[in-house]
A and B are shown apart, each in its own frame.
Chain A
């Protein structure tokens, strides 16, 4: 194998602290990027896009976001679904043109209608709105820890879903209470709505995934990441070396919520197109993303991708095998699918509690010596 560091010498500290210190890894990374950008867009079709690629990419962003909070900073959150909903509804308001009411000089409420914002910027702005909401719900984290914090974020989940059901301004007073993504494009290419081309929607999400993953990696390898990890591993010791616990925890909540918000916005605008909040962003979504990072590996960017791939691909794979190959009835297959996925998760947690990322790490350690382990 080519996977070894022999012959790779770092002569500067920045070379030593890069993301892929081993040459083979670096090359592989560029190959994956090249395939994702230059090959996949030409062969992608509707089925692959909607069954596999879009959910994988969008969940990967959410998983990275939750991993920053839970895996790196050690703050358990069960509010991911609620924060995704914030991202989705914020994006909807930005892309359809938000009407805001401000107090005028004479004490009267004056209505201002913002023009619709380009979908690209809507998604980013939605991330910032979610980051702000995440900061608010992160405030209790200074006082409560562990399971109790999880329960507090659970409250955020239910509150936010309730809010988007009751507050009609958020869904533009539509009779159904749903939000529907209008057709919007970037640089003349449609990325949302029913007529969007698969390759355009795919590339739109891919760009967000790549840039956000790169940002997450940068944040976690520098001083910010060390602050988070110090809080995670031992908060008292972190404080004694000069980490402000409130600052570290809130920044993790903010950054994490930004990622989750962007993922929620893409989930609504690009993937689903129409959203009913309780159905799309309910508590099961929070657990799904939590499963992803536990199975993928806490405290690992790669693990977020691996976990998202596992949870998205496995049901698709099982369905294809059970219905497509074995010819079982669809409803039976759907139930068996639940059983198998659930059992696999349990087996996985017993066999490798540190997730797919740890398996990958062990494989790499072995590969370094292969085929001569002595």
Chain B
């Protein structure tokens, strides 16, 4: 069993560490509707973990639980070996969890550079007085963080649009800027909510490459929701399958592909 061992090496040579985040018996209800029902799974350090399922399965709700938007009625969230008390989203961000949204949530009025710089806000601590006078820490901090941001900008190949207001960019680039903003925070865990939705094949290939590169170069743990099965099976180390708020499968892409419950959920099942 892979769950019990400390760490292992994947066929392509990456080392997957111990458990980084663990969801224990999460149940989330909105009034009478149960969006998530008693789901447990873990995310290990350095892996790419996919959450898949048909529409309305509760995948995005799960991501919202992780990032602190929703607070589950039952169950526990464990992060880095500690049980996490109920937190506001900004506190979760300060813990080192960054995310992107299904429908892009960029700051339209700001340039690409400023957008990516906002990703560094959790690392910026200069006081109001220092900032008002632009002396000491404020100035040094700005330059320091700019250097880190420029590395991300190089990495995602968006140098040429650095000073363009985000509102003017096409969809695919916006998605990439959003990824850049999340990466700028240097997160331990990166949550991607449908990073390839609405993209053509080439854009999907680019984005897949970036996801793999991020995982490889920065060692960032990634949890992603995606509908494109080809992408999911190629990218991820392990897959959680959800349907109607329940977990119906969990394992390597091959395990999941051959799981009868998963096949039934996706292809439908005859009731005779």
Interface residues of A (CB under 8 A from B): 12-14, 16-17, 215, 218-219, 222-224, 226-227, 229-230, 232-234, 236-245, 251, 255, 299
Contacts and interface: CB of A to CB of B under 8 A. Distances in A.
Main secondary structure of the interface of B (DSSP, over half): helix
Task: Please classify the interface of chain A as helix (H, G, I), strand (E, B), loop, or mixed, using the class held by over half of its residues.
Answer: helix
Contact of A244 (B90, B146, B181, B182): B90
B134 A222 contact: yes
Given A13-B147, A14-B142, A224 B93 contact: no
Contact of A242 (B106, B122, B134): B122
Contact of B117 (A226, A242, A243, A255): A226
Contact of B132 (A215, A229, A238): A215
Contact of A222 (B94, B138, B147): B138
Contacts of B124: 223
Interface stretch (B12-20, B107-115, B153-161, B248-256): B107-115
Contact of B138 (A16, A218, A234, A251): A218
Contacts of A227: 118, 121
Contacts of B181: 241
Interface stretch (B38-46, B97-105, B215-223, B236-244): B97-105
Q: Which 5 A-B pairs have the closest CB atoms?
A: A242-B93, A233-B107, A237-B105, A242-B122, A223-B124
Interface in B188-235: none
A226 B115 CA distance: 8
A299 B142 contact: no
Contact of B122 (A224, A233, A241, A251): A241
Contacts of B150: 13
Contact of A230 (B88, B98, B107): B107
Contact of B121 (A16, A226, A299): A226
Interface string B129-148: 00111100011011100110
Contacts of A233: 106-110
Contact of A226 (B93, B118, B138, B143): B118
A241 B185 contact: yes
Nearest to B97: A240
Given A218-B132, A222-B134, A233-B107, A241 B139 contact: no
B105 A236 contact: yes
Contact of B139 (A14, A230, A251): A14
A242 B67 CA distance: 11
Given A239-B89, A242-B90, 15 more contacts: A14-B142, A17-B142, A215-B133, A222-B138, A224-B131, A226-B114, A227-B118, A227-B121, A229-B114, A233-B108, A239-B88, A242-B93, A242-B94, A245-B90, A255-B128
Contact of B126 (A223, A241, A245): A223
B164 to A, nearest CB: 13
B119 A229 contact: no
Contacts of B143: 12-14
9 contacts: A13-B143, A14-B139, A14-B143, A215-B132, A215-B133, A223-B138, A227-B118, A229-B110, A229-B114
Nearest to A236: B105
Contact of B89 (A16, A222, A240, A299): A240
